[in-house]
C-alpha cells in the first residue's frame, strides 16, 4: 500500500452558516496536514483532499461522524505523493456552479435522477432506447469519454442549462448522465426532470467509481481530474486513446494547462509540441511576460493575482 491517498467526494446536505463552517473546516484540514480543494455552500460539500493514509482515514471518520454527511461516499486512490500543493476550503454559492440557485427548479437533496450502480450501468448502457449523456466540459470529454456517448459543446457546467432544448429530441429515451465523480449529474439529472424528461438516470459515483467497480469497460481515453495528476486511467478491460494533440493532431493521452497564466487553457498536447512551445497552447502564449516554467507536467500551482501583478 502506498503512503498517501487522494479522496474525491461530495454531499448535498444543508449547512447552516456555511461561510463559518468553511473557515473552521479549513483549520481542521490543516491540522491534519491535508492538501486539496474543498467548496462549501449552503447546499453541501464538494472536495478533493490528499495526505497520508492516517490523515485521510481520520478525515473520513470525522466527515462520517457528522450526521449531515454520514452518507458521504469517498472515492479513494492510492498515490505516490499528495496530489495538491496547498489546502483551500472556500465558501461559494454552489458546490458545483450551475447558475440555478432556485431550489424549486433543482434540489438534488430532494429529487434527482435514479442512481445506477456501475454494474447496472454496464448492463444498460448499450440498449437501443438508452442515451448516455456526458455532462462535463469540452476539455474533459475530449480527453476521454464513454463509447457512443453524447457530448455537449460546453466550456463550463454552468452552460449545461442552455443545452436542454437541444436534448428535447431524446425525451422518448432513457437518459443516463455521467461525470467524473457524480456531483454534476445530481444537478443535471434534476434539471432534466424539471423540464419534463421522464426516464432519467445517473451513473452513481461517476467515471471514477465505474473504473474501480466495473473495470472501466468502454470508457475510451483517460479521465480528467482536478488535481496535479490532471488525468487518470480508468479502463482496465479494453483501454484506448482517443485524444489528439491540440497543436499537431497526433494521438496523445497527455493533458496540460497552458503555461501562460492568463490563458491557462486545458488542452491535450504531445511531448514534442510541449517542448517546442514551452508548455503553451500557441506561439502567442510563449511570449507572455509571466510565462510559467514548463517542467513537462503541464500542472501549475495557482498564484494569487495580487502576487502576479507585482
What integer pLDDT is reported at residue 306 of this predicted model?
A: 41
246 in any annotated domain: no
Give yes or no: residues 8 and 56 share one domain. yes
What integer pLDDT is reported at residue 304 of this predicted model?
A: 45
pLDDT, tens digit (0-9, with 9 covering 90-100), for 178-206: 999 999 999 999 999 999 999 999 999 99
Q: pLDDT at residue 310 above 60?
A: no
pLDDT, tens digit (0-9, with 9 covering 90-100), for 201-232: 999 999 999 999 999 999 999 999 999 999 99
The rounded mean pLDDT for the chain is 94
Q: Which residue would you say has higher pLDDT here, 197 or 308?
A: 197
CA distance 111 to 268: 36
Domain boundary among 180, 201, 232: 232
Give yes or no: residues 271 and 213 share one domain. no
| 3-class secondary structure, 278 | coil
124 in any annotated domain: yes
Give yes or no: residues 226 and 122 share one domain. yes
What integer pLDDT is reported at residue 305 of this predicted model?
A: 42
Q: What percent of the chain is modeled with pLDDT above 90?
A: 91
Number of domains forming the structure of the chain: 3
Reported as a pLDDT band with limits 50, 70 and 90, residue 269 is very high
Give yes or no: residues 51 and 121 share one domain. no
Mean pLDDT (whole number) for 135-157: 96
Give yes or no: residues 53 and 120 share one domain. no
Give yes or no: residues 223 and 141 share one domain. yes
Lowest mean pLDDT: which of 78-92, 100-114, 151-165, 235-249?
Answer: 100-114
What integer pLDDT is reported at residue 73 of this predicted model?
A: 97
What integer pLDDT is reported at residue 103 of this predicted model?
A: 67
Which residue range is the domain that position 269 belongs to? 255-308
Give yes or no: residues 228 and 118 share one domain. yes
What integer pLDDT is reported at residue 300 of this predicted model?
A: 85
Give yes or no: residues 187 and 127 share one domain. yes
Q: pLDDT at residue 132 above 60?
A: yes
Give yes or no: residues 86 and 10 share one domain. yes
Give yes or no: residues 217 and 129 share one domain. yes
What integer pLDDT is reported at residue 307 of this predicted model?
A: 37
Domain boundary among 60, 91, 122: 91
- Can you give the CATH number for the domain in which 42 is found? 3.30.70.100
Residues catalogued as catalytic: 179
Give yes or no: residues 150 and 44 share one domain. no
Cβ density class 167-181: b for 16+ within 10 Å, e for less: beeeeebbbbbbbbb
Give yes or no: residues 162 and 57 share one domain. no
Amino acid at each position: 500500500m502506498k503512503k498517501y491517498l487522494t479522496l474525491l467526494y461530495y454531499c448535498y446536505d444543508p449547512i447552516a452558516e456555511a461561510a463559518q463552517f468553511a473557515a473552521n473546516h479549513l483549520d481542521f484540514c490543516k491540522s491534519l496536514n491535508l492538501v486539496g480543494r474543498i467548496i462549501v455552500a449552503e447546499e453541501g460539500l464538494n472536495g478533493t483532499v490528499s495526505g497520508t493514509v492516517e490523515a485521510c482515514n481520520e478525515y473520513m471518520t470525522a466527515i462520517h461522524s457528522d450526521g449531515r454527511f454520514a452518507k458521504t461516499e469517498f472515492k479513494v486512490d492510492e498515490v505516490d505523493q499528495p496530489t495538491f500543493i496547498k489546502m483551500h476550503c472556500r465558501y461559494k454559492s454552489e458546490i458545483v456552479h450551475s447558475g440555478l440557485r432556485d431550489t424549486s427548479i433543482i434540489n438534488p437533496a430532494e429529487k434527482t435522477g435514479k442512481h445506477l450502480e456501475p454494474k447496472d450501468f454496464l448492463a444498460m448502457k448499450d440498449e437501443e432506447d438508452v442515451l448516455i449523456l456526458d455532462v462535463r466540459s469540452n476539455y474533459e470529454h475530449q480527453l476521454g469519454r464513454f463509447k457512443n456517448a453524447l457530448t455537449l459543446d460546453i466550456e463550463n457546467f454552468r452552460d449545461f442549462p442552455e443545452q436542454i432544448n437541444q436534448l428535447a429530441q431524446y425525451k422518448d429515451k432513457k437518459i443516463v448522465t455521467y461525470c467524473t465523480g457524480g456531483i454534476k449529474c445530481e444537478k443535471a439529472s434534476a434539471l432534466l426532470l424539471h423540464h419534463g424528461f421522464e426516464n432519467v438516470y445517473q451513473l452513481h459515483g461517476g467515471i471514477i467509481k465505474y473504473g474501480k467497480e466495473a473495470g472501466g469497460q468502454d470508457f475510451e481515453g483517460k479521465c480528467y481530474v482536478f488535481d496535479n495528476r490532471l488525468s487518470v486511467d480508468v479502463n482496465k478491460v479494453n483501454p484506448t486513446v482517443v485524444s489528439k494533440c491540440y497543436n499537431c493532431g497526433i494521438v496523445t493521452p497527455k493533458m496540460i494547462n497552458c503555461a501562460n497564466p492568463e490563458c491557462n487553457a486545458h488542452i491535450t498536447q504531445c511531448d514534442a509540441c510541449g517542448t517546442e512551445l514551452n508548455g503553451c497552447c500557441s506561439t502567442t502564449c510563449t511570449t507572455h511576460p509571466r510565462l510559467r516554467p514548463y517542467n513537462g507536467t503541464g500542472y501549475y500551482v495557482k498564484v494569487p493575482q495580487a502576487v502576479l501583478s507585482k
